[in-house]
Amino acid sequence: MTDTRGPQSEPQAKPQSTSKQKQKPAVDETATEAKAKSKDAAGQPYHPPQAYAAPKKPGAQRGPVPGTRTTPRTRKARLRVAKADPWSVMKVSFLLSIALGVCTIVASAVLWMVMDAMGIFSTVGGTISEATGSNEGNGFDLQSFLSLPRVLIFTSVIAVIDVVLMTALATLGAFIYNLSAGFVGGVELTLAEDE
């Protein structure tokens, strides 16, 4: 094999100390090494590299140092929902269920008006009255049974029951979540900042 690294100097052997020479006292090597590492070749203290240069004047703006990455990083945070306050869950679910109940009443009124304008009640009502009628009576009157006030009263009763049930179930769900979060630690969420 041929050495291709070029000429190299041979390490010089150090003279061995004899027992007649005085030996120097041992110096604490860790303190000396720490001082040597904390200063660079010019004898100045070590400063880690900065992404932005320090401002030279008190009012000067800091700018990016050439050759460094200046693209913003997306910050992420891992959070854990440890407890859901049952009182606040009850208030929020109560308001949301009231809004859902109002939407249900309005939607049923609009649907009834559209179906009445299309003539569905009269057509289906005539068919049912013919099928259930006899010589003595006219049969079942669907239009009077499904009148708008009756439909709105029925929908309002359903909406009130819905408000009570949704509020109670959401509050019970908050209690159950708090019990299970005590055992397993709750739901962990990772939130990220928009770029």
pLDDT in tens, 120-160: 877 887 777 777 766 666 667 777 788 888 999 999 999 99
* Exposure on the CB side of residue 132, measured as CA atoms within 13 A: 11
Q: Does residue 9 sit within a domain?
A: no
Average pLDDT value for residue range 1-25: 55
pLDDT at 98: 97
d(CA 151, CA 104): 12
- Count structural domains, the chain: 1
Residue 96's domain comprises 86-192
Of 11 and 90, the structure prediction assigns the larger pLDDT to 90
Of 48 and 110, the structure prediction assigns the larger pLDDT to 110
Q: Does residue 150 sit within a domain?
A: yes
Q: Identify the weakest region by mean pLDDT among 31-40, 55-64, 90-99, 100-109.
A: 31-40
pLDDT at 195: 64
pLDDT at 96: 97
Q: Does residue 61 sit within a domain?
A: no
d(CA 193, CA 179): 31
Cβ-based neighbours of 77, under 8 Å, separated by 6 or more: 190, 191, 192
Q: Is 81 helix (H, G, I), strand (E, B) or coil?
A: strand
